[in-house]
Structure 1
């Protein structure tokens, strides 16, 4: 993605930050967004070609600001998401207001941002959209009903968008478990040090982008640099 422009949401930490750093190292101009302004600016201060924009992707005005800041756009990565309550509640006890928040951040905001960005992506020779998925979107885990339902909906949006926009690449990318703040919130008090660092998963996504594999859902565990298992 050399000389490209990308928007990465949820770029202040975790996988979003690791991806932003890798794209910047390749010469990509990255519009990096996150809700925590101080953390975002501190995390990206030393990264060349990164434009940090603090805001909430559920805010329509901020979404317009993101697209306007890009000017042109080759890659849109929907990394921002919402876990929901911690500890994770069963569906019997799931607060509906909390579920609305999960769906707003994880499903509605990515769709709204995509709608704004589509004209720019269509104008790019390599227009690509990536939505971050999860195994909770396809497998049933107790406590993961809210988050999993949101990710399943996002997966389906990506699949339909790929049919509707055949000239674009649209990927739902499942990075697998990672050592992130969100994952720690899902397992409060547990040791998650056995999970891989986000930076170790980024090469799988970069391979997907470089090879421009057909639109679809991909697992990071099934992709390695230079080949697909």
Structure 2
């Protein structure tokens, strides 16, 4: 631990999207260990069953026994009703004792990677993808910032879970690359507009998750598909826990430039 690294994330309200599985679930677990007593979590995803299982797990943890309040919100964030339910629960969980609001925009979908860009001719299909992966992310962030405004003694951190795909083209991944690039610029603009916010786009790297399994089996580009398969066979995929540890370290050190893109492997990482 560096001398400048703080020991915890404060008495925090943590709002985590896509929290039911994979990286989002791991983020919820790790954050629960780093917040002070009196903290709260609002966890959202489409799967209510998986969310409730995570809620029960956290209730039995040391943080749960110390009074961490966990609220689950099964919701489709591509629909305004679902988005508003998350904001409502965040407002209800907020109190004057909270000194750190952390919004983790993790929810995302891979999109159809079995096709190349020239095949996406239907606007409704593209609009549906962008609604979940870009529009809902922007609107949720904006509504949380309005609902939980700045005040003395309150830090607000906005985390965008991003990808190398935000920076580099991946053949047959047009939707995913477009969504990640749009989100990245959106949060860079937010950081420029709101200097009191701490904004980070964190790329967790190639994770051993269900999404990666789909990528290995469905990616249309043969070279990219082989790259993913070779990484899996060689044991080069990261666990969610290993990558999340890097994110937690970044948040505890709190020395990143607001709006920055930081990859788990560092600035020279250049493979998926």
**Deviates further, 108-117 or 205-214:** 205-214
2:166 equivalent to 1:137:
yes
1:29-80 CA distances to partner (integer Å, 9 max, x unpaired)?
2211110111221233211332211111112122222122122360111000
**Deviates further, 110-119 or 182-191:** 182-191
Name the structure 1 match of 2:130: 103
Name the structure 2 match of 1:207: 249
Question: Structure 2: how far apart are the matches of 1:25 and 1:95?
Answer: 46
Instruction: Give the CA RMSD over aligned residues.
Output: 1.9
Using structure 2 for the length normalisation, give the TM-score: 0.76
Deviation at 1:95, TM superposition (A): 5.5
Name the structure 1 match of 2:194: 165
Deviation at 1:121, TM superposition (A): 5.0
Deviation at 1:140, TM superposition (A): 1.3
Aligned ranges 1:3-152 → 2 under 5 Å:
3-27=11-35, 28-47=39-58, 48=64, 49=68, 50-71=70-91, 72=94, 74-85=101-112, 87-94=113-120, 96=122, 97-119=124-146, 120=148, 122-123=150-151, 125-152=154-181
Deviation at 1:101, TM superposition (A): 2.2
Superposition misfits of 4+ residues, deviation over 4 angstroms: none
Question: Any conservation in 2 of the 1:83–1:102 contact (CA below 8 Å)?
Answer: no
Question: Structure 2: how far apart are the matches of 1:33 and 1:141?
Answer: 29
1:165-212 CA distances to partner (integer Å, 9 max, x unpaired)?
110011111111101111211222758362111111111111221122
Name the structure 2 match of 1:227: none
Question: Structure 2: how far apart are the matches of 1:130 and 1:209?
Answer: 10
Deviation at 1:26, TM superposition (A): 2.1
1:109-144 CA distances to partner (integer Å, 9 max, x unpaired)?
010001111131523621010111111111111111
SS at match of 1:81: coil
Question: Structure 2: how far apart are the matches of 1:214 and 1:99?
Answer: 32
- Count how many residue pairs are aligned between Structure 1 and Structure 2: 222
Tell which structure's C-alpha radius of gyration is larger.
2
SS at match of 1:188: helix
Name the structure 1 match of 2:3: none
Name the structure 1 match of 2:208: 179
Alignment gaps of 5+ in structure 1: 224-229
Using structure 1 for the length normalisation, give the TM-score: 0.90
Question: Structure 2: how far apart are the matches of 1:16 and 1:121?
Answer: 25
Alignment gaps of 5+ in structure 2: 1-8, 59-63, 95-99, 219-228, 268-272
